[in-house]
């Protein structure tokens, strides 16, 4: 068993994290069942199924395969933000008229990330200007067609297709899955950029926030919203704020009991004081949209 200590365990609620991870029945990259989280993990050789649980301030990982324990710990730490120190955000949020009730309602929720840069980029492209349910449907089609699949105890598990695989996919195959012409072109462009080494996790993580933002928006199909989503979910810049996000706008309307959804200028005014709490504030507002 691998044991991963959770930093600031007082502000960690595994069940809240599972609720967020289980918000779509079309999610194919992990499975939540009976208070546990199951994830196929790639380490270069045969993928390993991770059985993830939590007890007494530690995330516990069981697997029947030989794995690099440090790599597993690093992956789960990035995914579930296990090394986060929540004190500053909670102190800020408890005094904020928008966030105060949310940190009570969802106490212990961590910002669930996407530890794979290519998955993060292509997921944000997939989700542009469509509803979340259809975005999950498109992702499911993409993963099932081009990702790695294995079946364990009758249940299919998947790995996201790497850039090298999608870079070689004819556009017609994505179009047949109902990806738009634009999204098809953007996904294949990002795949080629990464497959050919012009963009890499190492390159992005060496940059500061502004440098990383400019690098991402230089990619076809990546605007301010998509770039900040990636910088929030993958690179974990705390100031990342997807200002144009429709979900953020809807959540602000509900929390502030506004008669209409706020526009960009209003959202900018409402969020300008968030600064290094912007990513977490956004994530907690997204959580408020999920009522299960």
What local confidence, expressed as pLDDT, does residue 129 receive? Answer: 87
pLDDT at 46: 81
- CATH assignment at residue 274: 1.10.1670.40
Q: State residue 55's pLDDT score.
A: 96
Identify the active-site residue in 8, 208, 245, 266: 245
Number of CB atoms found within 10 A of residue 88's CB: 12
Does residue 53 form part of some domain?
A: yes
The full DSSP string for 260-287 is S---HHHHHHHHTTTGGGHHHHHHHHHH
- Tokens linked to 265: 């200028």
Torsion 188-190-196-202 (CA) sign: negative
CA-nearest of 3, 41, 153, 81 to 50 is 41
pLDDT at site 65: 87
Q: Are residues 280 and 217 in the same domain?
A: no
CATH code for the domain in which residue 193 is found:
1.10.340.30
Nearest residue to 213 via CA among 198, 224, 197: 224
- CATH number, domain of 46, equals 3.30.310.20
Tell me, what's the pLDDT at 43?
Answer: 76
Same domain, 121 and 187: yes
- Domain range for 167 is 117-148+158-233
Same domain, 268 and 212: no
Whether 47 is in a domain gets the answer: yes
Q: Are 4 and 102 in contact (CB under 8 A)?
A: no
- Active site (annotated) includes residue 245: yes
Instruction: Give the total number of structural domains in the chain.
Output: 3
What is the C-alpha separation between 4 and 290, in angstroms, rounded?
28
Residue pLDDT tens, the chain, 292 long: 999 999 999 999 999 999 999 999 999 999 999 999 999 999 777 899 999 999 999 999 999 888 989 999 999 999 999 999 999 999 999 999 999 999 999 999 999 999 999 999 999 999 998 999 999 999 999 999 999 999 999 999 999 999 999 999 999 999 999 999 999 999 999 999 999 999 999 999 999 999 999 999 999 999 999 999 999 999 999 999 999 999 999 999 999 999 999 999 999 999 999 999 999 999 999 999 987 6
Q: Is residue 153 part of a domain?
A: no
Judge if 285 and 194 occupy the same domain. Answer: no
Residues ≥6 apart with Cβ < 8 Å to 233: 111, 112, 113, 114, 120
Is 229 found in the same domain as 205? yes
């Amino acid at each position: 068993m691998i044991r991963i200590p959770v930093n600031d365990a007082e502000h960690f609620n595994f069940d809240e994290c599972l609720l967020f991870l289980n918000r779509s029945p079309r999610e194919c990259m992990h499975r939540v069942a009976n208070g546990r989280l199951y994830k196929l993990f790639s380490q270069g050789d045969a993928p390993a199924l991770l059985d993830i649980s939590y007890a007494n301030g530690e995330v516990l990982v069981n697997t029947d395969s030989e794995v690099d324990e440090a790599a597993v710990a690093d992956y789960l730490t990035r995914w579930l933000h296990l090394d986060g120190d929540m004190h500053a955000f909670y102190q800020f949020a408890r005094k904020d008229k928008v966030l105060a009730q949310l940190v009570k309602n969802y106490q212990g929720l961590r910002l669930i990330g996407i530890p794979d840069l290519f998955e993060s980029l292509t997921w944000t492209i997939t989700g542009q200007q469509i509803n979340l349910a259809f975005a999950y449907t498109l992702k499911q089609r993409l993963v099932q067609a081009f990702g790695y699949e294995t079946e364990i105890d009758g249940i299919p598990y998947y790995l996201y297709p790497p850039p090298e695989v999608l870079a070689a996919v004819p556009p017609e195959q994505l179009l047949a899955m109902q990806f738009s012409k634009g999204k098809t072109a953007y996904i294949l462009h990002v795949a080629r950029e990464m497959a050919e080494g012009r963009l890499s996790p190492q390159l992005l993580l060496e940059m500061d926030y502004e440098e990383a933002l400019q690098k991402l928006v230089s990619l076809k199909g990546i605007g301010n919203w998509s770039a900040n989503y990636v910088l929030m979910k993958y690179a974990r810049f705390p100031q990342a704020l997807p200002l144009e996000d429709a979900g953020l706008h809807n959540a602000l309307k509900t929390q502030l009991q506004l008669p209409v959804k706020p526009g960009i200028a209003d959202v900018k005014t409402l969020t300008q004081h968030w600064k290094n709490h912007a990513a977490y504030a956004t994530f907690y507002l997204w959580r408020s949209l999920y009522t299960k």
